[in-house]
Amino acid sequence: IRQVYKNFVDANPDGTGADVNGNIIVSSTDYWKPTPEQSDGVGDGNTPFCSLSKDGKTGTAYYKKNPDNANKPSMHFCDKVWDRSDLAGLTADNCAALGDHVSTVAWTKNFIGANVLHEFMHYPKIGKAAIGDQIGDVIYDAWQCRLLAVDPDVNRRKRTLVNADT
């Protein structure tokens, strides 16, 4: 964990984070159109990721090469990351409507930050540099991560180390 944060923040002499973060393009365009093989059968190779739905849920963000910026790592955050509520609704009653836990279902204080960190974990210079293995998406959300960490199958439990949400 310390190495991940060190890779993410580095010496931070000017307060802007590690230089390595400047190598990533955060695209405003939903550029990834996953095939069925890339998306558990949901994608068709023509529909952008953020428009796909599985079990009534849509995606939140992704870290994938962008053909328009092939030389730089790229990520995109779907509109649902930002379009949760207006400022008045979020701050009413001292932010009482905001949850205390990270959730992809309800807007919480930690939602955007958790998504940014999750996507940066896929960047090899952050996650892989820290643990020596590429970070992927094994399972999502805090409860599922906990279940993975205590799974009786030791080989499945080891996947906790390479899971971006963990």
The closest of 28, 27, 26, 47 to 36, measured between CA atoms, is 47
CB under 8 Å to 154, separation ≥6 — which residues? Answer: none
**What does each of the 166 residues of the chain score in pLDDT, given as a tens digit?**
888 888 888 777 787 778 888 888 999 999 999 999 998 899 999 999 999 998 888 888 999 988 888 778 899 999 887 765 566 766 677 766 655 554 555 555 456 778 888 999 999 999 999 999 999 999 988 888 999 999 999 999 999 999 999 8
- Ordered by start, the domain boundaries in the chain are 1-105
pLDDT value for 38: 92
pLDDT value for 84: 58
Task: Dump pLDDT digits (tens) for 85-111.
Answer: 566 766 677 766 655 554 555 555 456
Reported as half-sphere exposure (CB side, CA atoms, 13 A), residue 115 has a value of 21
Question: Which amino acid appears at position 6 of this protein?
Answer: K
Sign of CA dihedral 39, 43, 44, 45: negative
Quote the distance between the C-alpha of residue 77 and its chain's center: 8
CA distance 90 to 93: 9
Would you say 17 and 8 are in contact if contact means Cβ atoms under 8 Å apart? yes
Supply the pTM of this predicted model: 0.77
